[in-house]
Structure 1
Amino acid sequence: MVDNNHVSVDCSCCSDCGDTTLNTQTVTLDGCSCGPGCCDVPKPIQMAKKRIVIDFLFLDVSVCTRCQGADTSLDEALSEVSKVLEATGVEVLVNKINVVSEELAKQYKFISSPTIRVNGRDIQMDVKESLCESCGDLCGDEVDCRVWVYQGNEYTIPPKAMIIEALLKEVYGESDDVQKEPEYSMPDNLKKFYAAMRNK
């Protein structure tokens, strides 16, 4: 590799002419006697790895069955696509964030539990929720959790295929135009949950 007018030892241009000046770690181009241009053959450029950041945001994984299920589904999806992503030079970083307070909810612009984001994009932009009995048992009040809509069907746990599809679209598909996010306002459902947890 040519770097600052130096040639690395893997240069083989002098193998036919018997020049032994390249038996050192590096030599200047002027030290090669094979003629101008023989050592500055372009080398393959190593592309920087593409990074995918996944944020899994949730209210609770100790009691809430929907959060537990989403966590498991995410792990299984990553396990299935990890070899493909690794082979194509994609680095995956997973952040699992327990949004235990209103302050954290504001920081992460948390709107529904659980949430899965890929490079900052919610894998389901439209929020749909239904009553979650396990979170109700946790906080002592009625609380809704997320419902996932995939291929026309509704699920209380995100299907593994839905997560894989979102990952592959982000890595290999064309990204949608970035839309301006509306100003964050904490949903009443989350306010109710945090208030109930404080009063326990």
Structure 2
Amino acid sequence: MSKLQTRSCCSGGDCCPPAQESKQVVIDFLYLDLSVCQRCQGADQNLAEALEEVTKVLSSAGYVVKVNRIHMATKELAIQYEFLSSPTIRVNGQDIVLEVTESTCQDCGDLCGDSVDCRSWVYEGREYAEPPKAMIIASILKRVFGGEAVVAQPKEPYVLPENLKLFFEGLETAKRQ
């Protein structure tokens, strides 16, 4: 009787499926200040809590979540990231909300010595100073699993918003004093 031989078809044969690449979800959290600004702090906290919950689902589906917390410390960084309003959350390069709304942010205004508007978040018909955890979770899942098609808008050249110009100019003035 002959010995049973086992042979792997993956030793160069065409019969094996290609190795599955790990799927990655990149979350960028862009902000002006985490030391003073309660709006940025709240967004950071809500994002952390949302990621704690949503990462389990994404991991089960074979996704790896990478989070980048990026402090928009300079005008040059804001330009590099095409930063529109603070705070911003992006999933795979796309903002979690399509329309930017803003309201007065006393904390950032105090930082730069001027009046500054920061992002507010509209979710289910209500406006919030911080993005609600449920909104963050829903937005991440929609971006990853395609529950809502994102319509590609023609991209216009980026221009630093006037609001951010005032903020960075105010910071520079405060540093010199």
Same fold (TM over 0.5): yes
Partner of 2:100: 127
Aligned-residue CA RMSD in angstroms? Answer: 2.3
Say whether residues 1:19 and 2:3 are aligned partners: yes
Aligned: 1:184 with 2:158:
yes
The answer to which of 167-176 and 133-142 deviates more is: 167-176
- Shift in Å, 1:20: 4.7
Residues 191 and 43 of structure 1: CA distance in aligned 2, closer, same or farther (over 3 Å): same
Identity of aligned residues (%): 51
Write the mapping of 1:58-69 to structure 2, written as runs, cut at 5 A: 58-69=31-42
Alignment partner, residue 7 of structure 1: none
Find the aligned partners of 2:173 and 2:119 in 1 and give their Cα distance: 24
TM-score by length of 2: 0.88
Work out the CA distance in 2 between the residues paired with 1:18 and 1:172. 51
Between Structure 1 and Structure 2, the one with more helix by share is: 2
- Aligned counterpart, 1:148: 121
TM-score w.r.t. the length of structure 1 is 0.78
Larger Rg: 1
Q: Which position in structure 2 is the counterpart of 1:74? A: 47
**What is the letter of the counterpart of residue 68 of structure 1?**
Q
For structure 2, the residue ranges without an aligned partner over 5 or more in a row are none
Cα displacement string for residues 114-144 of structure 1 (whole angstroms, at most 9, x for unaligned residues): 0001111111121111110111111111111
Gaps of 5+ in 1: 1-16, 30-39
**C-alpha separation in 2, matches of 1:26 and 1:129:** 60
- Count how many residue pairs are aligned between Structure 1 and Structure 2: 171
Higher relative contact order (CA 8 A, sep 6+): 2
Question: C-alpha separation between the residues in 2 aligned to 1:60 and 1:152?
Answer: 27
Q: Counterpart in 1 of 2:168? A: 194
What is the DSSP-based 3-state SS (H/G/I as helix, E as strand, rest coil) of the residue aligned with 1:146?
strand
Query: 2:8 & 2:99 partners in 1: Cα distance?
Result: 59
Aligned position for 1:103: 76
- The residue identity in structure 1 corresponding to 2:168 is Y
Shift of residue 160, structure 1, vs aligned partner: 0.6
